[in-house]
Structure 1
Amino acid sequence: MRRAPYEQPMTVDQLKGLLKKFDTNGDGKLSRKELKEALKSLHLRFAGLKAWSAIHHADVNKDGVISDEEINELAKHIFKWLKI
């Protein structure tokens, strides 16, 4: 797995902040498309597949989006891919 090119390690809280910036429609939730763009910005390979996997893992209520209540689990799941 490729390591993301960061000069300083990122914390889970910083990752959550970054993910929230990709809520382009401002509804307070992350769609799979928005998450895919966030993962691309982190230089992760197979961003579309990883977005699907992350939503499948973190979307507790199965509504297809990640709400504010689910973002902690999402960030922890993605953090493993970053290996930082």
Structure 2
Amino acid sequence: MDKTRFRCKNVDKGCQRIAYDIKLKQIFSRYDVNKDGRLSKEELKNAFSELGSHVPMFRAFLALHHADKNGDRFIDIDQEEEMRALVQYAAQLGYDIEGGKL
């Protein structure tokens, strides 16, 4: 087995995952419609709707459960831990973003 080819495939997959996560973060950030730096359940519902969820309110509820680390019922966009948890939750659902489904 050519180890160089194997390594490149893994790097490509990692790069695809990073790009996918960045796109998810951009989508969620766009839905901060009141520009308060936080995502409410309603804003999350709208984002999950764009992503193609059949049950966006349920997804918003679960996203808050997974990512709201300080318990204020919002996802703070500038809080790295909360945004990372939100993106990880959404990424595991495998939404197709411009053909970038993982």
Q: What TM bracket, shorter-length normalisation?
A: 0.7 to 0.9
| Deviation of 1:51 (Å) | 0.4
Q: Which runs of 5+ in 2 are unaligned?
A: 1-16, 96-100
> RMSD over aligned Cα, in angstroms?
1.5
TM-score, normalization by structure 2: 0.70
| Deviation of 1:15 (Å) | 0.5
Runs of 4+ in 1 over 4 A off after TM superposition: none
Larger helix proportion of the pair: 2
Q: What is the number of equivalent residue pairs in this alignment?
A: 76
Q: Which has the higher contact order (CA 8 A, sep 6+)?
A: 1
In the alignment, which residue of structure 1 is the partner of 2:92?
80
- Rg bigger for which structure? 2
1-structure distance, mates of 2:87, 2:64 = 11
% identical equivalent positions: 33
Which amino acid is the alignment partner of residue 83 of structure 2?
A: I
TM-score, normalization by structure 1: 0.84
Which amino acid is the alignment partner of residue 53 of structure 2?
A: L
